């Protein structure tokens, strides 16, 4: 199958080609307000011109009290839409499709951030000596869960109003919806925990709420881990069952990835020591899902060579997602289409502390995105520790501004549409 053939989604929307710019957290929000600005608009215009048919934004937060970082963008019921309209228009004018990734960070919130850190159960992140870098989460009540589902629906509806072509619900990488899927983090004994059906409930209810909030031609996608790569965690067999449960819910595409902050599989490292493929990290593991999936699948992770991307399609995936490769070479799809077999490999940091190395690699990516957003060329190597230090300093400044904004602008409550009868709360703790 050719990478540059269009693809019709179940909702009848058509992607220009099979190459997607997968989500990367840009950390470019304009403060105060946590809004998209000139840098975001210019960055996405550059990717659209570079030949990716689908651009999936970095995660946009559904609740202003819960951010993955102080540089992330928020879209809730009170957010002004004009900046988002400019963002979507920049991509669509260049001929590409844009989906907004919508997310709640759950427990993956740094300890210096204000607001809330939530999880299905009161189980925090374990990163050894770095554990205290993350906030200790509070177990959610049923009311919290239902209000959060409504927040996803509100954000999706407002994304459509702003001109986006679809949304991607983030249920991977250890964020909130992902932790509900994990038997390691979800110890609840009510309707939101226990069996896989119950652990999946928040995700399927979110999909239903989002699908009902948008028009039939608006794409609704899900990002899902093929596996968490943690012993006793969410794994490939359960991933297959979750995908089967999407049948009939109006899901247009499932992007498969892997790992969490405790098991940085997207950086090529796993907590359970499983070996990943050298390229297309999750292809061997996830490839078996493609034959029987009721919805189209996309694979992301470690793809930066034309032959690898074509192999992913040959294995039955409908689309190929690339992230860090497009931070280093934003015109890579256009170069491939012209016949240049260019290979892009994201650098790895050989620091002794592997958790810091993963954080440093993310800081390098953020630095690349800022360069691209300001019309500069990417810089693949050099100064990793200096860039990491500057990223930490920038984080501290953004936290101060976010705290001041959040204190002055209490969040709008999620709409009170009932999602079913109240249930007994039992978090299993």
pLDDT in tens, 226-271: 887 777 788 889 999 999 999 999 999 999 988 777 665 444 444 4
At 287, is the pLDDT very low, low, confident or very high (cuts 50, 70, 90)?
Answer: confident
Residue 229: both structure tokens together: 């790569």
Q: List b or e across 388-399, with b for residues whose CB sees 16 or more CB atoms inside 10 angstroms.
A: beebeebbeebb
Prior bond to 124 cis, omega within 30? Answer: no
Q: Are the C-beta atoms of 86 and 103 separated by less than 8 Å?
A: no
Q: Reply yes or no on whether the pLDDT at 70 is more than 80.
A: yes
> Taking the CA atoms of the chain, what radius of gyration do you get in angstroms?
20
Checking DSSP bridges between strand 14-15 and strand 7-8, what pairing results, if any? antiparallel
- In angstroms, rounded to a whole number, what is the distance separating the alpha carbons of residues 44 and 51? 11
Could you tell me which residues come within 8 angstroms of residue 20 by beta carbon, excluding any fewer than 6 positions away? 52, 53, 54, 55, 56, 255, 298, 300, 319, 320, 321, 322
Q: What pLDDT score does 381 carry?
A: 61
pLDDT in tens, 307-344: 999 999 999 999 999 999 999 999 999 999 999 988 88
Could you tell me which residues come within 8 angstroms of residue 391 by beta carbon, excluding any fewer than 6 positions away? 363, 366, 367
Could you tell me which residues come within 8 angstroms of residue 303 by beta carbon, excluding any fewer than 6 positions away? 279, 280, 309, 312, 320, 321, 322, 325
At 272, is the pLDDT very low, low, confident or very high (cuts 50, 70, 90)?
Answer: very low
At 414, is the pLDDT very low, low, confident or very high (cuts 50, 70, 90)?
Answer: low
Q: In degrees to the nearest 10, what's the CA dihedral of 112, 114, 120, 125?
A: 0
- In angstroms, rounded to a whole number, what is the distance separating the alpha carbons of residues 63 and 81? 16
Q: Is the pTM of this model over 0.75?
A: yes
**Whose CA is closest to 167, among 253, 226, 81, 242?**
253
Could you tell me which residues come within 8 angstroms of residue 108 by beta carbon, excluding any fewer than 6 positions away? 68, 125, 134, 174, 175, 260, 261
DSSP 260: B
- In angstroms, rounded to a whole number, what is the distance separating the alpha carbons of residues 427 and 429? 6
Q: Say whether 294 sits in a helix, a strand or coil.
A: coil
Of residues 301 and 248, which shows the higher confidence score?
Answer: 248
Query: What DSSP string describes 188-201?
Result: --STTSSSHHHHHH
Q: What pLDDT score does 273 carry?
A: 45
Query: What DSSP string describes 64-133?
Result: TT--SSTT--B--TTS-SHHHHHHHHHHHHTT-EEEEEEE--TT--BTT--S--EESSS-----GGGGGG
- In angstroms, rounded to a whole number, what is the distance separating the alpha carbons of residues 358 and 362? 6
Could you tell me which residues come within 8 angstroms of residue 295 by beta carbon, excluding any fewer than 6 positions away? 10, 243, 246, 247, 251, 252, 253, 254
DSSP 11: T
Average pLDDT over residues 104-126: 96
**Whose CA is closest to 100, among 129, 128, 76?**
76
Q: Which helix (H) or strand (E) holds 363?
A: helix 354-373
Q: How many CA atoms lie within 13 A of 115 on its CB side?
A: 33
Checking DSSP bridges between strand 138-139 and strand 166-171, what pairing results, if any? unpaired
Query: What DSSP string describes 129-193?
Result: GGGGGBPPPEEPPHHHHHHHHHHHHHHHHHHHHTT-SEEEEEE-TTSHHHHHH-TTT----STTS
CB atoms within 10 A of CB 366: 23
Ordered structural domains, the chain, with CATH: 7-408 (3.20.20.70)
Q: What pLDDT score does 350 carry?
A: 84
pLDDT in tens, 141-191: 999 999 999 999 999 999 999 999 999 999 999 999 999 999 999 999 999
């Amino acid at each position: 199958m050719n990478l540059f053939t269009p693809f019709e989604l179940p909702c009848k929307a058509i992607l220009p080609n099979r190459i997607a710019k997968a989500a990367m957290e840009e950390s470019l929000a304009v403060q105060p307000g946590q809004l998209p600005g000139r840098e975001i608009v210019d960055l996405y215009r550059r990717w659209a011109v570079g030949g990716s048919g689908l651009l999936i934004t970095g995660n946009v937060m559904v609740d202003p009290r819960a951010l993955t970082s102080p540089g992330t963008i928020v879209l809730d019921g009170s957010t002004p839409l004009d900046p988002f309209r400019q963002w979507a228009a920049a991509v669509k004018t260049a001929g590409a499709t844009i989906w907004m990734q919508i997310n709640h960070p759950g427990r993956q919130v740094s300890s210096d951030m204000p607001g809330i850190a939530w999880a299905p159960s009161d189980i925090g992140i374990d990163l050894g000596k770095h554990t205290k870098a993350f906030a200790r989460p509070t177990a959610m009540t049923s009311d919290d869960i239902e209000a959060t589902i409504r927040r996803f629906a509100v954000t999706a509806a407002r994304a459509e109003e702003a001109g986006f072509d679809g949304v991607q619900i983030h249920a991977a990488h250890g964020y909130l919806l992902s932790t509900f899927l994990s038997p390691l983090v979800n110890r609840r004994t009510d309707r939101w925990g226990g069996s896989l059906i119950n652990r999946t409930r928040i995700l399927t209810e979110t999909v239903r709420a989002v699908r009902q909030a948008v028009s039939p031609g608006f794409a609704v996608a899900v990002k899902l881990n093929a596996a968490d790569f943690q012993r006793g965690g969410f794994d490939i067999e359960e991933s297959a069952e979750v995908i089967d449960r999407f049948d009939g819910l109006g899901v247009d595409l499932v992007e498969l990835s892997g790992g969490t902050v405790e098991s940085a599989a997207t950086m090529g490292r796993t907590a359970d020591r499983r070996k990943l493929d050298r390229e297309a990290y999750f292809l061997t593991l996830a490839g078996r899902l493609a034959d029987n999936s009721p919805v189209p699948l996309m694979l992301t992770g470690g793809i930066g060579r034309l032959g690898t991307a074509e192999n992913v399609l040959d294995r039955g995936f409908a689309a190929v997602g690339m992230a860090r490769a497009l931070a280093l070479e934003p015109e890579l799809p256009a170069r491939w289409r012209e016949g240049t077999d260019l290979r892009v490999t994201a650098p790895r940091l050989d620091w002794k502390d592997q958790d810091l190395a993963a954080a440093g690699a993310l800081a390098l990516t953020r630095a690349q995105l800022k360069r691209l957003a300001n019309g500069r060329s990417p810089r693949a190597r050099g100064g990793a520790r200096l860039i990491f230090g500057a990223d930490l300093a920038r984080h501290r400044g953004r936290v101060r501004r976010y705290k001041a904004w959040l204190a002055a602008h209490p969040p709008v409550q999620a709409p009170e549409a009932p999602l079913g009868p109240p249930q007994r709360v039992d978090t299993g703790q």
